[in-house]
Amino acid sequence: MTSAPPLRAVLFDIGDTLVRAAVPGTPVAHLRAEPIGAARRELDALATSYRLGAVTDTTVMTERDVRDALSGTGLGELLEVIVTSVEAGRPKPDPVGLRLAMAHLGVAPEETLFVGDAPVDAAAAAAAGVAFAPVDGSAGEAVRAHLTARSGAFEAAARLVAPTDEHAARAARDHHGLLTKPAGSLGRLEDVGVQLAAIAGVDPPPRPRPAAVAVFAADHGVVAEGVSAWPQEVTAQMVANFVAGGAAVNVLAAQHDAAVTVVDVGVATDLGGLATGGSAQLRSCPVRRGTANLAREAAMTRDEARRALDVGAAIAHELVADGAAALVTGDMGIGNTTAAAALVAAFTGRTAAAVTGRGAGADAATLDRKVRAIESALARLDPGADALSILAEVGGLEIAALAGFVVGGASHRVPVVVDGVIADAALLVAAALCPASVAYAIAGHRSSEPGATAALGHLHLDPLLDLGLRLGEGSGAVAALPLVDSAALVLAQMATFDAAGVDACQA
């Protein structure tokens, strides 16, 4: 993280940055802009954090002409100002266009980012003293790369989380009414299909395949309080088991053609001897070697929490860049149901006793120690503590990474299928830090931990599965993947009443 001044405005080149460039010589009246990728959704996300504008070279078009050409793309409405070289008097690399746009928005060069695809864009930015982000793919990804360097992968992702697409959602809902079945008769599969369309911004939505599972692993100092029936070494042993492919999540992920990536965010035991080349990839991103004992002191610092959020967001970014069409949350950490319950209590306002369960096999005495550890932790929280402070004080490294992972997936407009109580606690963190991210989450499974139901209720999420799983690892979310896929497939493949020659309901 640098100490750059806060960014206040993002300016964009237009041709080959936000929309495909027109063939030179196309008459102005015939120009029809075609946005590149999800440019509208990207700008929609950025508009909630920044003033937006455009600076474009054209020998013939005024701002009014450009806005006409952009009509129907939704881009024009998101750009407060559009300066063309006709109005500026000089084309880029002259900085006059950028300066006019900044003056219009009332922002200084050091508060501004310019995004463009051409050397003249970079030169104009340099001349204006404005940071420059070169487009390689989409404008939003250029902004992400800049923001990641400026303030970390999590912050970058959070700025790029757009509201889900209500237009696509409505199209999917209407589409369901035309398919050869009684209205609403596919129940939750219809809701998930509509959500997938809203997430992707298109109906029918793409299949959520291939999915990628990230299992974030870390240890918890609170095990010193005797909150788990399992020795701390099991975290590292299970990481080895994931890498070797012998755990439940490996079996379920392989069943559904999902790759598993194991991410060490802070395992206490040395993983050095781990054989590679196994079933799952192992990524080493330790923020610290396990948290402090949250019953007695802050589990981690705010900076450590932020770095764990960055790990999660960065992994999400990499997995999507590698082709994942859906992300699945997984976790491993002996003692983590204690940290998760503490977070659920803190974010939902429930008591420790109400949200604490037996985790992976706690007896009554262990359960009692868990509740007391959580009560001690909660007692240290300021009533006005912000979400990052709560996460640092009573959370866990893998839970922070999971929150970053959810926000990272949302920033890429892919569904994030969340597992049990650990992921639910992470989702509460994500919701507090980046509320728009929750609309990208699909609850895979209702953990039997009481904290899961409290968290899901708070978030108004209803899990697809309720099979009594209490394993973690992402197992419940992976098991739900085929249902998410079904939801996409029925919209893509079912016949309509008209096409199939089936009479509609007479009611």
Residue 81 interacts with a copy of itself (CB under 8 A): yes or no: no
From residue 399, give the alpha-carbon distance in Å to each of 147, 269, 291, 298, 369: 23, 18, 11, 15, 21
By CB under 8 A, which span of 88-96, 139-147, 178-186, 260-268 interacts with a copy of itself? Answer: 178-186
Query: Sheet holding 131-134: strands in order across?
Result: 81-84, 51-56, 9-12, 112-116, 131-134
Question: Using the rule CB under 8 A, which residue among 119, 163, 177, 231 binds a copy of itself?
Answer: 231
Question: Using the rule CB under 8 A, which residue among 71, 255, 284, 351 binds a copy of itself?
Answer: 255
Site string for a copy of itself, 356-395 (x = CB under 8 A): ----xxxx--x-----------------------------
* Helix residue ranges, H only, 184-335: 187-200, 233-244, 248-255, 302-321
Listed residue (304, 284, 283, 286) closest to 294, CA to CA: 304
* Least distance between a copy of itself and beta carbon 310 (Å): 30
Residue 195 interacts with a copy of itself (CB under 8 A): yes or no: no
Catalytic residue among 155, 190, 393, 473: 473
Q: Which is nearer to a copy of itself, 211 or 387 (CB)?
A: 211
Residue 503 interacts with a copy of itself (CB under 8 A): yes or no: yes
Which single residue is written with the structure tokens 């799983």?
Answer: 469
**Pair of tokens at residue 28:** 């102005």
Q: Which amino acid is at 5?
A: P
Q: Which is nearer to a copy of itself, 13 or 449 (CB)?
A: 449
Number of residues engaging a copy of itself in binding (CB under 8 A): 64
Residue 506 interacts with a copy of itself (CB under 8 A): yes or no: yes
Question: Using the rule CB under 8 A, which residue among 234, 298, 324, 390 binds a copy of itself?
Answer: 234
Question: Using the rule CB under 8 A, which residue among 1, 48, 467, 498 binds a copy of itself?
Answer: 467
Listed residue (112, 100, 98) closest to 4, CA to CA: 112
Residue 277 interacts with a copy of itself (CB under 8 A): yes or no: no
Neighbours of 453 (CB within 10 A): 18
* Least distance between a copy of itself and beta carbon 449 (Å): 11
275: DSSP letter: -
Site for a copy of itself in 439-458 (CB under 8 A): 448
Compute CA 133 distance to the chain's CA centroid, rounded to the nearest angstrom.
22
Residue 257 interacts with a copy of itself (CB under 8 A): yes or no: no
Do 85 and 92 contact (CB within 8 A), yes or no? yes
By CB under 8 A, which span of 30-38, 128-136, 383-391, 498-506 interacts with a copy of itself? Answer: 498-506
Q: Which is nearer to a copy of itself, 101 or 478 (CB)?
A: 478
* Least distance between a copy of itself and beta carbon 31 (Å): 40
Tell me how far apart the alpha carbons of residues 98 and 406 are, in angstroms, rounded to a whole number: 35
Do 212 and 316 contact (CB within 8 A), yes or no? no
Residue 224 interacts with a copy of itself (CB under 8 A): yes or no: no
* Least distance between a copy of itself and beta carbon 173 (Å): 15
Query: Sheet holding 326-332: strands in order across?
Result: 281-284, 259-266, 211-218, 326-332, 416-418, 441-443
Question: Using the rule CB under 8 A, which residue among 229, 381, 385, 439 binds a copy of itself?
Answer: 229
Question: Using the rule CB under 8 A, which residue among 4, 60, 108, 183 binds a copy of itself?
Answer: 183
By CB under 8 A, which span of 44-52, 69-77, 106-114, 230-238 interacts with a copy of itself? Answer: 230-238
Tell me how far apart the alpha carbons of residues 384 and 386 are, in angstroms, rounded to a whole number: 6
Residue 475 interacts with a copy of itself (CB under 8 A): yes or no: yes
Residue 108 interacts with a copy of itself (CB under 8 A): yes or no: no
Give the three-state DSSP class for 281.
strand
**Pair of tokens at residue 238:** 């299970």
**Phi/psi-derived region of residue 266, left when phi > 0, alpha when psi is between -120 and 50, beta in every other case:** left
The reply to whether 449 belongs to the active site is: no
Residue 495 interacts with a copy of itself (CB under 8 A): yes or no: yes
Listed residue (325, 329, 352, 330) closest to 341, CA to CA: 352
**Pair of tokens at residue 255:** 């069943």
Crossing angle of helices 475-493/248-255, nearest 10°? 10
Question: Using the rule CB under 8 A, which residue among 119, 177, 182, 349 binds a copy of itself?
Answer: 182
Angle at 148 between CA 384 and CA 133, to 5 degrees: 130
Active site residues: 473
Binding site for a copy of itself (CB under 8 A): 179-189, 229-231, 233-234, 237-238, 240-241, 244-248, 250-252, 254-256, 360-363, 366, 448, 464-471, 475, 479, 482-483, 485-486, 489-490, 493-495, 499-503, 505-507
